């Protein structure tokens, strides 16, 4: 087992199953703008780089002039419905309890306000010393300055830091910053893309993490 002092967790698809509510909010936005709804798998493939990129991808390059209105509609709807079906991913809370004595942080490209509301609603906010989302800092994953900020703030060593996530951005952040990566293969990311990212560790079940790090 690898000894770690800091566990960085992604949010969507890693700690919380948010896909259904995101799909519903995107399709509501598209229909309000007069577009046809898109399939679940296609919308899920747009997730991971924040709401701006999510809506740009949903609209398509030829319709970006709708972007300001799309953001307004999406934000208003999602803020009211982000807990409709959101639920903790299997094993997520057990992992958080197992590492009760470790420093844990949520690091996501999801907007901070959305992330905080869901974390509080699902009663996992208590497990983390900090939640970092879009709007918390000037940069997003996979920018290494996110990890630099955490090291400086908490005085921890990079060789004892691991990011746990379900996206290629999580693996890329680890490579960019020199920390360990553990990729969850049953989240929102495509398995083939995740395997191609050459992470340090992979798991099909979040509970497997407890056998990897101490």
Number of domains within the chain: 2
The span from the CA of 161 to the CA of 8, in Å, is 8
Residue 156 reports pLDDT greater than 90: no
- Predicted TM-score (pTM) of the model is 0.94
The reply to whether 100 and 75 lie within a common domain is: no
Asked whether residue 40 is assigned to any structural domain, the reply reads: yes
**Tell me, what CATH number does 132's domain have?**
3.40.50.1000
Shared domain for 39 and 50, answered yes or no, is: yes
104 and 10 both lie in a single domain: yes
Residue 193 makes CB contacts below 8 A (sequence gap 6+) with 168
- Answer yes or no: is 207 within a domain: yes
* Whole-number Å distance between alpha carbons of 153 and 6: 12
Which strands sit side by side in the sheet containing 6-9, from one edge to the other?
A: 130-134, 103-111, 6-9, 161-165, 180-184, 201-203
The answer to whether residue 127 sits within a structural domain is yes
Domain boundary among 38, 58, 81: 81
Structure tokens at 178: 């020199």
Look over the chain and give the mean of its residue pLDDT values, rounded to a whole number: 95
What's the CA gap between 67 and 103, in Å, rounded?
Answer: 38
Same domain, 76 and 123: no
> Mean pLDDT over residues 121-142, rounded?
96
Q: What is the tens place of the pLDDT at every residue in 168-214? A: 999 999 999 999 999 999 999 999 999 999 999 999 999 999 999 99
Question: What residue numbers bound the domain in which 198 lies?
Answer: 6-17+86-211
Q: Which pLDDT band, with edges at 50, 70 and 90, does 106 fall under?
A: very high
First-to-final CA distance of the chain: 6
Q: Are residues 11 and 67 in the same domain?
A: no
Q: What is the pLDDT of residues 14-70, one digit of tens each?
A: 999 999 999 999 999 999 999 999 999 999 999 989 999 999 999 998 898 899 999
CA atoms within 13 Å, Cβ hemisphere of 94: 10
> Rounded to an integer, what distance in angstroms lies between the CA atom of residue 107 and that of residue 150?
10
Based on the fold, state whether residues 28 and 44 are members of the same structural domain. yes
- Same structural domain for residues 108 and 157? yes
Looking at the structure, tell me whether residues 156 and 110 fall in a common domain. yes
Whether 1 maps to a domain, the answer reads: no
């Amino acid at each position: 087992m690898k000894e770690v002092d800091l566990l960085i967790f992604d949010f969507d698809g890693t700690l919380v199953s948010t896909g259904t509510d995101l799909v519903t909010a995107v399709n509501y936005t598209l229909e309000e703008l007069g577009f046809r709804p898109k399939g679940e798998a296609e919308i899920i493939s747009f997730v991971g780089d924040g709401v701006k990129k999510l809506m740009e991808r949903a609209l398509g390059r030829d319709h970006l002039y709708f972007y300001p209105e799309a953001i307004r509609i999406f934000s208003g709807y999602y803020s009211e419905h982000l807990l409709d079906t959101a639920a903790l991913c299997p094993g997520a809370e057990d992992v958080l309890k197992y590492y009760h004595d470790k420093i844990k942080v949520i690091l996501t490209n999801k907007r901070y306000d959305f992330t905080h509301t869901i974390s509080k609603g699902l009663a996992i906010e208590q497990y983390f010393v900090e939640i970092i989302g879009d709007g918390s800092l000037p940069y997003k994953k996979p920018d290494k300055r996110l990890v630099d900020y955490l090291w400086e703030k908490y005085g921890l060593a990079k060789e004892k830091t691991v990011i746990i996530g379900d996206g290629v951005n999580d693996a890329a952040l680890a490579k960019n910053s020199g920390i360990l990566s553990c990729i969850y293969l049953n989240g929102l990311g495509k398995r083939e893309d995740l395997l191609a990212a050459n992470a340090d560790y992979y798991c099909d079940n979040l509970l497997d993490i407890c056998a990897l790090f101490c």
